Every structure is written in structure tokens, then in C-alpha cells.
Copies of this chain bind each other. A is one copy, B any other.
Amino acid sequence: MNTTFLDACLGKPTPYTPVWLMRQAGRYLPEYRATRATAGSFMGLATNPAFATEVTMQPLDRYPLDAAILFSDILTVPDAMGLGLTFAEGEGPRFAHHVRDEAAVAKLAVPDMEKLRYVFDAVRSIRNSLALRMNKGVPLIGFSGSPWTLACYMVEGKGSDDYRHVKSLMYARPDLMHRILAVNADSVAAYLNAQIDTGAQAVMVFDSWGGVLADGAFQTFSLAYTKRVLAGLKRTDADGNVVPRLVFTKGGGLWLDEMKDLDCDVLGLDWTINLGKARAIVGANKSLQGNIDPNILFAPPAAIQTEVKRVLDSFGKPHADAAKRGTGHIFNLGHGISQFTPPEHVTALVEAVHSHSKKMR
């Protein structure tokens, strides 16, 4: 197995900078669109382990990526809580029931993990497919939304551009918000542990909406519950391998000084923060994952190469001392890849990351 991703997570030297892409199995790939058409819908894909495996493997067939990520959605957990998730074509996710009052909050509980068996079955199936690649296999990343990010969808009932309902509840009834977040944190920990049990070799918490919170509220309503998740996670898989933990708060660059104390191995960063500055703040106890703007993938390959170099150079000289932990770097986008991305531009990006990062060593 290609261990560059896991090594970089744990701050060990690597021969080049590993790279994977958020939403790498997605609509920009014609083969993904074909499988999705067969499955009939997004949830048809996500709930069928064979389809989920197929689309998880697709980008690995095209590109020499250094990690696979489970094909799923962060909203599987509130769906298992009974909120009734649907994806209307072109509209994004929507819940049949939203959680905005005392009665709805009282009903919330950690879901029976049996309801999420399709996810764990997919994890097992993907691991089997990856194992068939022998030494060309890559590790599988499991993931979940953060308690706050799940709460955003649970309260809003769908995506939002102002987070009016969830913030109203948070400011007006912090007691109810804390109750939602506690249930979410315990659910996320159980969910990620089950992914670890069935084969996830690293786990990532997507705090996609942490960055919409005010300073103060972020620490109280997002960071504290990410901590609670991390405190509930297994450290190793059934074989005793360490399972690295990655936490990504989109828009969280201003809070790195607080996030650097999280009990995790890697912090994900979006493109607004300079990697060199982030490395100086975070130090050798954590690695960094990120952070190019996915919109660079609309530019020609020469421009992609220039920007990839700029991002790698901003991180600086890679850690090279095998005797101690250093700040590892995992190259990624600062946000999911756009459905409009030309697939051949991804080839240029991955190639540029590997070749330039080799030269930096």
C-alpha cells in the first residue's frame, strides 16, 4: 500500500507530498455520472455498497491519488435520526422534518447504527477493492459532518445562505442547541468508530459551516463538540494500526491557534490562509491538509502548475527527520471539486503536486 498519506498525517517524512481531492468521486467525472444514472439518484448511489464502491474507485483509476475517501454524504447521520433526507435534482439536500423547537429536540437521540449499515458495508467493500490493488492500493478515509455542521442542516432543514434559523435557535435557546450538539457529537463518534471497525484507515470531520459562526460562538458551539467527538474516538483499528484524525473547519483560519490543541493529527485548511503561516502557528504536533482554490482547475495546465508550486512553496521545506514528528503536508483543495471541472485538469494538478514536491526534497 502507498502509505504517503498516512505517513504525512502522522508527521513522518514522505518521498513526495500526497494528494487527494475533496469530492474526488463526483459529477465532474463522466463515469460517475453514468453510475449515478444507473443508480437513479444520489441516495441510490450512497445506500448501495456496490455502487458506492464503484464510484469511490473511479478517480483512483484515472489519477495517481494517494488516498480514497468513502463515497457518502454527511447527512446520513441526521437521516438515521429519522429526519427524512431527500435530494431533489438540482436543489441539494432537504429534510422532511426540521428541528427548531423543544419538542423536536426532545425526540433526538443517537441513532441505531444498524440504520447506517449501508455505510459500513460500503467501507468494507471499498477496502476489499483497494486490497486487490496490492502495493498500488491507497488508504481509505472515513468521514462525518461535525456536530455543528449537522445541526445547521437539521435546524434549517436544508442548505442556507444566512443560517438564520440555526443561529436564532443558538442565540435564543442555547440550551436546546447544546442538547442537539451533544446528541450529534455522540452520534458522530459512534458513526466514525463503526467506520473504523469496518475498515476506515483515517477519519475526517467536516466542520463545513464552522466558519459562519462568530468568534466566541465558534468555540462554544462548534469547537467544543468537535472535541467531544475526538474524545470518543478509537485510536486504532482492529489490527492495532493508528487511525489518524483530520478536522477541517472551512473558514476557520482565524481560530488555528485554538484548533492546534485539538486531539487530532491533521488540520484541514481552506485557501484563504497562507500555509507557511499556518505551519508556524500549528507547529510539529499536527500536519496540514489543503489548500488550493478548486477554481484553479478551470485554468489551463500551465496556470495550474504555477499555482500548485506556489501552494507547495508557501508550506515550505518538507519535514525530513524520521526520528521525530514534523508538520506533514497533504495537498488538497480548500473545498470540494466543482462539477464543471475538466477531468484532464485534475491530471495536471496531481502531476504537478507529485513532481514539484519531489524536487523540494
Contact = CB atoms under 8 A, between A and B. Distances in A.
B271 A164 contact: no
A295 B164 contact: yes
A128 interface: no
Nearest to A163: B295
A215 B164 contact: no
Interface in A206-236: 211, 213-218
B164 A338 contact: yes
A106 B340 CA distance: 27
A351 interface: no
- How many copies of the polypeptide does the oligomer hold? 2
B167 A293 contact: yes
Contacts of A167: 293, 295-296, 298
Contacts of A338: 162, 164
A347 interface: no
A291 B216 CA distance: 12
Contact of A303 (B164, B172, B251): B172
Given A162-B338, A163-B295, A295-B167, A274 B172 contact: no
A271 B271 CA distance: 19
A280 to B, nearest CB: 13
B213 A299 contact: no
Interface string A286-324: 000001110110111001000100100010000000000
A300 B174 CA distance: 12
A272 interface: yes
25 contacts: A161-B161, A162-B338, A163-B295, A164-B298, A164-B338, A167-B295, A167-B296, A167-B298, A168-B295, A168-B298, A171-B295, A172-B298, A172-B299, A211-B272, A213-B271, A214-B271, A214-B291, A214-B292, A215-B274, A216-B310, A216-B314, A217-B293, A218-B272, A253-B253, A254-B273
Interface of A: 161-164, 167-168, 171-172, 211, 213-218, 251, 253-254, 271-274, 291-293, 295-296, 298-300, 303, 307, 310, 314, 334, 338, 340
**Would you list the 5 A-B pairs with minimal beta carbon distance, nearest first?**
A167-B295, A171-B299, A168-B298, A214-B271, A172-B299
